[in-house]
Every structure is written in structure tokens, then in C-alpha cells.
Amino acid sequence: MINPHEIQRLTTLALVAEPLAEKDGCATRTKDLSEDLKLTHFLAVAVNSGEYFYELAQRVVDEGGQPKVFYDLCHEALKNSNRNSKSQKYINNGLLGVLFPFVLARLISDKRGEDLGEVVLEILKKSSVQDVQFREKCRNLAWSTSTVTWRRVFPSVGGSNLHEYYENKLNLFNPDVSEVDIFWTKQFLSGFLLIKEMYLCAKTQKDSSLILRTEIAYRLGMQSIKHPPLVADYNAVVNFLLLSEKDGDSTL
């Protein structure tokens, strides 16, 4: 039985645990990266985002499965993420963009954590034009503070569903686009194989704290793509998967 309050608690806890872990190249409990990337900013984002995962769970209950539209909640979460924070940047666009479909996958499926990437693929294919529109709104909002030139002029992508959106986006990339952006997009189309690897790695550390499991999974992820923000975003998803399991009693 879905408990929206519990989903809010678990997602908030997963997001809080991620920046507390010691990870090279990221803001952690012992160091800030910059004025816009402080531990306090990430903690504020975690708390500010929780209510929208509650609404996602309630929408699944009300509609009896995948909602007709769910990405509007991601947009609202991003738009309100900087409350009580001095950060001028939207630091969690990528994180929320991945976490929302994974939380939805957990809500509508009883598959094991390592198999939820396949459920996410089906969610993307069954999503709506409205979901695509809200995905673009998220991107435009987040990239409005970017200093990367190509992001400011990147065209509208479009698509009949989110899977088609990511296929179209991949085809629009030009030589100026970084390897990281290409990798990120391909992960949506492959069922997030790196998240699966990181999850299985963390899963084996049953006697370790959630923080330590986060650090171990992070080091594994960095072997595949040396981009701290991307791997840290995946860490938050792994944390949620671990916490939301029947035996998800990991302590911080």
C-alpha cells in the first residue's frame, strides 16, 4: 500500500544523505565548493523538494497507476528548490529529472531495485506531450543561469513522450556539446545502466551506513564517467532505492 507521507520522508532522506557523503569534486559535510554550491544549499533543496514527491505518490493512488501527467511536479520542485537558500543557480535540475521517474517506477512496480531502470524506460514511453513540455520548462529554467553558451541557444526539442524527447535531444546535439551531456541523455534511453551498477555495488555493503554506501557507489560511478555532479545525482537515486526496499533500514 502506497503511503505518500512515507515517500516524502524517504526521498527527503535520500537527498539529505547524498551531500553529507565525502566525495571528491562535490560539496560535502566538510567542505563547500563555491558560493552557489554549499552543503546548506543541497540540504535546503532536499527539504523543499519533499512535498512534490508526496504529491506524486498521491497522484498514483488517485489515478491507480502512472499519472497522465507527472513532470509538472518536477517543474514545481525545481522552481521552488532555492527557498531559504542564497544560491543563484538551480543546482538540482539533473537530480530531480532522474529521481522523479525512479520514484514513480518504485510506486507502480514491485520489481527489484536493479530492474527499475527498465520500468523507467516504460514510464518514459507512456508519458505525455504535457510531460515533455514540462521537461523543457525545467531545462529552460535551469539553463537560464548557465554560463555555457550552447545551452543558452539550444533549440526546443519536442516529442510525443519523454522517450522520444530524449531521442530527439540526442539527434540535436552538435560538436560543442560535452561528452557528459551525451552520456546523460543516453542513460535515459538505456534504462540507466550506471545507476544499476552503482545500486548493486551499494547493495552489497549491507552492514555499512547509508553515507558509506553512498561514498562507495560514488567511487564506482566515477570510473565510468568522471563528472562529479552527474555521479552525485545518481547517488541520490541509489539512496532512494536502498531506503525504499522492504528491508531498507539503512542508518545514516
| Domain ranges across the chain | 4-149+160-243
The set of cell numbers assigned to 190 is 538505456
**Does pLDDT of 205 surpass 80?**
yes
List 34's β-bridge partners, or say none.
37
Task: Identify which has the larger pLDDT, 66 or 248.
Answer: 66
Task: Write the pLDDT tens digit of every residue in 167-187.
Answer: 999 998 877 778 898 999 999
pLDDT band for position 249 (50/70/90)? low
Task: Identify which has the larger pLDDT, 243 or 251.
Answer: 243
Give the per-residue pLDDT at 46: 95
Give the per-residue pLDDT at 1: 85
Can you tell me the distance from the alpha carbon of 128 to that of 43, in angstroms, rounded to the nearest whole number?
Answer: 31
Task: Write the pLDDT tens digit of every residue in 61-117.
Answer: 999 999 999 999 999 999 999 898 877 788 889 999 999 999 999 999 999 999 999
| Residues 198-216, mean pLDDT to the nearest whole number | 94
Give the per-residue pLDDT at 219: 98
Residue 191 CB neighbour total at 10 angstroms: 17
Give the per-residue pLDDT at 66: 98
**Does pLDDT of 153 surpass 90?**
no
| Residues 194-216, mean pLDDT to the nearest whole number | 95
**Does pLDDT of 248 surpass 80?**
no
Per the document, the length of the chain is 252
Task: Write the pLDDT tens digit of every residue in 117-141.
Answer: 999 999 999 999 999 999 999 999 9
List 37's β-bridge partners, or say none.
34
> What are the backbone dihedrals phi and psi of residue 91, each rounded to the nearest 5 degrees, phi first?
-90, 0
Residue keyed to cell 507521507: 5
CB distance 248 to 113 below 8 Å: no
**Does pLDDT of 160 surpass 70?**
yes
DSSP string, 199-227: HHHHHT-TTS-HHHHHHHHHHHHHHH---
Task: Write the pLDDT tens digit of every residue in 17-64.
Answer: 999 999 999 988 998 777 778 999 999 999 999 999 999 999 999 999
pLDDT band for position 151 (50/70/90)? confident
Torsion over CA: 27, 31, 34, 39 (sign):
positive
Rounded to the nearest integer, the mean pLDDT of the chain is: 93
What does DSSP assign to residue 115? G
